[in-house]
Amino acid sequence: MTPGTAGTKAGIGPPLAEVDTPALLIDVDVLEANIATMATLMAGSPLRYRPHTKTHKSPVIAQMQTAAGADGVCCAKLAEARILAAGGCDDILITSPVVGAHKAAGLVELATTARVAVVADDAGNAAELEAAAAAVGVTLRVLIEIDVGQGRCGVRDIEDVLRLAERVAASPSLDLAGVQGYQGAIQLDPSYAERRAGTELAHERLLRFTTRLRDAGLPVGVRTGGGTGTLAIDLTLPALSELQPGSYVFMDTVYGSLQWSQEPGSTPPFASALSVLATVISRPEAGTAIIDAGHKALSADGGTPQPLTESQCTFAFAGDEHARLDFDGPCPLALGDTVAVTPSHCDTTVNLHDIFTVVRAGTVEAIWQVAARGAIH
């Protein structure tokens, strides 16, 4: 099957046994269910949503998300935005500042053909964007990024936010389109109580800042932020008008283990749609299998991936191309058997692969490109 083509219909594609490993698999039934669940959650809320595509880097999945009701998509970098636009996405927010005259020129060039917006947290950057936009005769939509507690990008001081918003609003080639307040530091906090407290603080801060802008007579526009880990909490709080969840489409071991709501033991309403299929390539000991997926197939920044085996085993990376599965008793896997492994962090695992092998009910339905793989600039 040619990468990027729709492939064959469900049930008549090649069986999984014919897939070369290691392979990045999507269980498309689960992917579709996750997208539908998000649409249902958001339909019951006055908030809008704009999924973050840094998770999947795929215009195909982005289009599935907008077809389900999302207002558009987010991406992290200009290079990702170009690929999304080329893949048919027509409303794109770049959630990191685009800095430098060369980058600004690339951004406004994209803005001549696609509906694109960008965040900014610096007056010098605003001047750079303004000059680039004026040079090609476009009006560039800019959102002021406010640091709501993450300590990454974002203006920290309330009067600095006001000054920057006034600067953008006064520009003939920039359009003050709103604010971004994303609290990424708490998305994966295993304690629901701490995630809730951190989200409340972030909302309070964003509300204070946007009130200051409104009191100064500035239009606030969209108030965007939030992620999968704080979704259930963001939906109950007032500061954001648009949510940016990314990981919900695939999930991973870390997100899958979060307590979802204040109910002890509550689990996320999204299931694991992503795995890496690996083959047993050595059986050196009775209780051990070596598989052909190591650091080049599975990321490690989120912790240890989880093999989906009938018997309990521990996973340990054994190099770039290998991992070791150690079973308590005899290893139930034979040489040549395959095993699916759930990544600990979906975003960084996806960026290791060129293609998704899309599987429905045990057969390969399509191959999708990880089109923005490596688009990190």
Instruction: Tell me which residues touch ligand PLP (CB under 6 A).
Output: 52, 54-55, 74, 95, 182, 184, 187, 227-229, 244-247
To the nearest whole angstrom, how small is the minimum distance from the Cβ of residue 154 to ligand PLP?
A: 10
Calculate the alpha carbon distances from 3 to 351, 369, 371 in Å.
16, 6, 10
Nearest residue (CB) to ligand PLP, 266 versus 311: 266
Alpha-carbon dihedral sign for residues 80, 85, 88, 89: positive
Helix (H) / strand (E) element for 350: namely: helix 346-350
Token couple for 210:
């946007």
Nearest residue (CB) to ligand PLP, 16 versus 153: 153
To the nearest whole angstrom, how small is the minimum distance from the Cβ of residue 96 to ligand PLP?
A: 7
Nearest residue (CB) to ligand PLP, 35 versus 138: 35
Q: At which residue do the structure tokens 């010098």 appear?
A: 124
To the nearest whole angstrom, how small is the minimum distance from the Cβ of residue 187 to ligand PLP?
A: 4
Radius of gyration of the chain from its Cα atoms, rounded to whole angstroms: 22
To the nearest whole angstrom, how small is the minimum distance from the Cβ of residue 158 to ligand PLP?
A: 21
Nearest residue (CB) to ligand PLP, 250 versus 327: 250
Strands (E), the chain: 23-27, 48-49, 73-75, 91-94, 115-120, 140-145, 174-180, 222-225, 242-243, 274-285, 288-291, 306-307, 313-317, 323-327, 338-342, 355-360, 363-369
Nearest residue (CB) to ligand PLP, 59 versus 246: 246
Provide the 8-state DSSP code for 200.
H
**Residue 283 phi/psi, 5° resolution?**
-130, 70
To the nearest whole angstrom, how small is the minimum distance from the Cβ of residue 351 to ligand PLP?
A: 13
To the nearest whole angstrom, how small is the minimum distance from the Cβ of residue 298 to ligand PLP?
A: 18
Nearest residue (CB) to ligand PLP, 184 versus 256: 184
